[in-house]
Structure 1
Amino acid sequence: MKKVGLLGGTFNPPHIGHLIIANEVKHALGLDEVRLMPTSIPPHKSNPTDATPEQRLRMVDLAVEGTNGLSVSAFEVEQGGVSYTFETMKRLKEHEPGSDFYFIIGGDMIDILPNWYKIEELVKVVKFVGVGRPGTIGKSDFPIRMVQIPEIELSSTLIRERIGSNGTIRFLVPEKVENFIRLEGLYGNPTNN
């Protein structure tokens, strides 16, 4: 069986914290690959300066480009609509019956896992892998394999705010991602308004 990690999220934008999580879990569990999978519709109200699903997908592609064992999955973006992990996993298992899936979540998601859509059924079709995040408890009654990773207090919100105030995001996102953000004028980038 192929061991596939999945790291879902809005990736608005993707940053080095996402890449550290994916890479550390891949190596800690001996996974064949980790796919970063942007959601189609973010679960929060979007801002007019936010990236489109296609732009977020492109940024993730740029972020993992040339990194062995990390890839991008367009699965949820291509499905469209609101993404529920249970529905995504059900479809992925149908498409790839020869793969074991490891769904990677941060401490913030672990804390609210009981509220996830069809969580009782979801834990039967996927193995959850948890990573710590600053300021979260990261405990659950559901089966979660915890992986210790270097924690970095970094968020896409911080990056969007930095861009909006013309601050630096150097070393926080891969250079190709920063170039794409500047080129597309994302997140209220004052240099392109």
Structure 2
Amino acid sequence: MMHIGVMGGTFDPIHLGHLRAAEEIYWALGLDRITFVPAARPPHKEEEFEASALHRYEMVSLATVYTPYFSVSPIELSRPGRSYSVETLREFRKLYGAENAIYFIMGVDAFLDIATWKEAQELLSLAQVIVAARPGWRLDEVERHMTSEQRQLLGNPRFEYVKISAITRETAKAHHEPRPVLLVEVVSLDISSSEIRQLVKEGRSIRYLVTDTVAAYIGKNRLYCSGQKLIGECEAST
């Protein structure tokens, strides 16, 4: 039996906070691998991305290339239309079959909006949902922030708050109905993609916020540089 983590996101750009959360969950659950899935056109984000889907895919590839149990999937880039997580999980379920376990990893900020996602109740049935802590968000307040209408739309899931050190495979794959949503405390690095993009615009360093491979890619392709910047100014960010 295989245990596969799926971590979706816009990754504009991917940073060390994403990677550290995935690393901790990988080891705590004893997963076989974690696949990062860059979103091409997520329906819950109307703004244009500053980096194209292909650039974001390449950055995730560069960030994970030296970690054998991390991989990146172009599944949402190659699928036309909006990027719906439920469709992605259906495809992963077909790929790995019912006999293998799938874990869908997401941040707490995304989970609090999940009731608005397409077929959210089915999404929770397709995989074990792991909600990871993010700076500025308290996992122990997730249930309090959810309305009764949101709970109903999700099929009234049960929540289980656990520390990363307390998770085992048995905890994660418990076959209760409905399957519990695991609220997981991980080392929460106070890094955001929007702040990284702003630093690049200002010509400031992003070292130790992203991998060196991602920093070099951003500099080489002049990503996140505003049109007013002088030639060569953005290179200072790498």
In 2, Cα distance between equivalents of 1:122 and 1:74: 20
Q: CA deviation at 1:58?
A: 0.5
Q: CA deviation at 1:146?
A: 2.4
In 2, Cα distance between equivalents of 1:137 and 1:110: 12
Alignment root-mean-square deviation, CA: 1.7
**Map of 2:38 onto structure 1:** 38
**Map of 2:102 onto structure 1:** 101
Residue identity opposite 2:117 in structure 1 = W
Asked if 2 retains the 8 angstrom alpha-carbon contact of 1:108 and 1:137, the reply is no
Asked if 2 retains the 8 angstrom alpha-carbon contact of 1:129 and 1:147, the reply is yes
Give structure 2 stretches of 5+ with no counterpart: 144-150, 152-156, 158-179
**Count of residue pairs the alignment pairs up:** 191
For residues 162-181 of structure 1, what are the structure 2 equivalents within 5 Å? 162-181=199-218
Per-residue deviation, residues 42-71 of structure 1 (Å, max 9, x unmatched): 423115xx1111111010000001113111
Per-residue deviation, residues 147-180 of structure 1 (Å, max 9, x unmatched): 2211111111000000001011001000011111
Q: CA deviation at 1:79?
A: 1.3
Larger Rg: 1 or 2? 2
Residue identity opposite 2:36 in structure 1 = L
Q: Secondary structure at the match of 1:188?
A: coil
Give structure 1 stretches of 5+ with no counterpart: none
**Map of 1:72 onto structure 2:** 72
Segments ≥4 residues shifted beyond 4 Å: none
Percent identical pairs in the alignment equals 32
Residue identity opposite 1:105 in structure 2 = M
Q: Normalising to structure 1: TM-score of the pair?
A: 0.92
Q: CA deviation at 1:192?
A: 6.3
In 2, Cα distance between equivalents of 1:160 and 1:71: 24
Q: Normalising to structure 2: TM-score of the pair?
A: 0.75
Per-residue deviation, residues 91-140 of structure 1 (Å, max 9, x unmatched): 22112215321000111122222222211111111110011112224324
